[in-house]
Chain A
């Protein structure tokens, strides 16, 4: 089944403790992206990647890192999480062609206390 897999689904952590949210897709998509969803703000792009070793900032990149060492994986790293990063996070992938929408993962609900 074609899908985007995120882990974990839920995570509670403490301020300053480094964490990684994993994302993997099995559709051979070139484009991958991370979004955060906050009430009243919709989905805002954090980082995106157009291919292996090619990453760039989205609209809200502060406090986040990403890497794209393999085409299928695009982990999101929070080196020193803070409470304002409490949010619902989605990973998505798509072909590069803009005719296509994205396929989304199921989401990761992160709480930083």
Chain B
């Protein structure tokens, strides 16, 4: 079985501050991990993925994520958040199917 947990329903930060969205996973074997973002009334857009190699993965829109095998975590980060980063963020793990966390709503205030 595979599962993803996003422990925070909401994250609120001020523009210009660092943003972190937390994710932990459970899967047998090597994890293939993904982050997606959903803007209001839109579909899901791919941000980044970890398959193997460097634990720090860089993705779209200045986002990056750090894979930590010992803590089974894959936290999403952005050094300086923008108001336009306000959206719903999903962490996911894939073996065959893609299993999603419940999502974290990020609000960046001006």
Residue ranges of A at the interface with B (Cβ–Cβ < 8 Å): 31, 33, 35, 40-45, 48, 58, 90, 92, 94, 98-99, 101-107
What are 17 A-B contacts defined by CB distance under 8 Å? A42-B101, A42-B102, A42-B103, A43-B44, A43-B90, A43-B100, A48-B97, A58-B97, A98-B32, A98-B95, A99-B32, A99-B49, A101-B49, A101-B94, A104-B36, A104-B45, A107-B42
B11-59, CB < 8 A from A: 32, 34, 36, 42-46, 49, 51
CA of A107 to CA of B15, assembled, Å: 30
Count of inter-chain pairs, beta carbons less than 8 A: 51
Is B98 an interface position by the 8 A CB rule? yes
Which secondary structure dominates where chain A touches chain B?
A: strand
CA of A105 to CA of B44, assembled, Å: 8
Please classify how large the interface on chain B is, using the bins under 10, 10 to 19, 20 to 34, 35 or more: 20 to 34
4 further contact pairs, Cβ within 8 A, besides A101-B34, A101-B98, A103-B46: A44-B100, A98-B32, A101-B49, A106-B42
Residue ranges of B at the interface with A (Cβ–Cβ < 8 Å): 9, 32, 34, 36, 42-46, 49, 51, 90, 92, 94-103
